[in-house]
Amino acid sequence: MSTVRTVVVTGASGDLGLDLVRRCLDQGAEVLAQYRSRPERLAELDPAGKRLTLVRGDLAEDDGAQSLAVAVPGHWHGVDLLANCVGGARPTPIDELSADAFRACLRANVEAPYAALKALLEPLTRARGSVVNLSSVAAFTGGAFGPHYAAAKAAVVGLTRSAARELGPRGVRVNCVAPGPVASGMTDSLDPAALRGVLAGTALGRVVRPEEIADTVLALAGATATTGQTIVVDGGRYLH
């Protein structure tokens, strides 16, 4: 973590984003945290506001990502790490899924991280930084959340690979973490029987802890010869 001094986290007030912000602050980094709701969860991590800057907005809106770029502190040398934790979905079976809900899922899970990456290209290039997008094991297995979520998270994997090829010559690495069921509010929304079925097919037989996702994000940020990769962190459900 010693080389990661400046971090932007999108979706920072969610369970995974929140834990990553906490880890980065604990290790001495300065963090710009984007959120849409629950700012109090973030504010308590740095009550004095010395190393944490909060930005409220919707990255899928036209000016949302630009507002994020403008908020990058002027004294930063660039952005060492952009961690796209933005996203999520409500579990919905295919016969109940509306076209509007499908499109909204794509906007939140694909358009938002893409917009953040595009808006922060200049400071990422300046720092020869790293981007880590959060996908999901559902991109490879389908899953209990429904086709909208699996399709969106599969698109994040494609976005990661394409951006890695294009941005590599600029010194910017782009990787992806694909969590399995994580101890979070989103997983809590699953039917308990469905969750038990998922965990029954998992080698470790348990949900993943948010700090285990944060560890993987930070490891990728420091893996200077790794780009275009998707690391599955699901306790051994999807073995490949």
Question: Tens digit of pLDDT per residue, the chain (240 long)?
Answer: 447 999 999 999 999 999 999 999 999 999 999 999 999 999 999 988 899 999 999 998 878 899 999 999 999 999 999 999 999 988 899 999 999 999 999 999 999 999 999 999 999 999 999 999 999 999 999 877 899 999 999 999 999 999 999 999 999 999 999 998 887 666 766 677 777 777 777 888 888 899 999 999 999 999 999 999 999 999 888 887
pLDDT for the residue numbered 1: 42
CB–CB of 114/10 below 8 Å?
no
Count of CB atoms situated within 10 Å of the CB of 88: 21
CA 81 to chain centre: 11
23 is written with which tokens?
């880890």
60 is written with which tokens?
């899928």
Burial 60-71 (b: 16+ CB within 10 A, else e): beeebbebbbeb
Give the residue extent of every domain in the chain: 6-233
Among 35, 114, 149, 238, the active-site one is 149
Distance, first Cα to last Cα, the chain = 28
CATH topology classification for 6-233: Rossmann fold (3.40.50)
**Rg, Å, the chain Cα set:** 17
CA 14 to chain centre: 10
238 is catalytic: no
| Axis crossing angle, helix 210-221 with helix 15-26, rounded to the nearest 10 | 60
CB–CB of 94/74 below 8 Å?
no
Element housing 84 (H / E): strand 81-84
pLDDT for the residue numbered 102: 96
CA quadruple 227, 33, 6, 45: dihedral sign: negative
Type of residue found at 66: Q
Burial class, 44, CB count within 10 angstroms (exposed 0-12 / middle 13-18 / buried 19+): exposed
Element housing 122 (H / E): helix 121-127
CA distance 136 to 232: 8
pLDDT for the residue numbered 182: 82
- CA angle, corner 232, sides to 163 and 39, nearest 5? 75
Please choose, from the candidates 109, 129, 141, 91, the residue with its C-alpha nearest in 3D space to the C-alpha of residue 3: 129
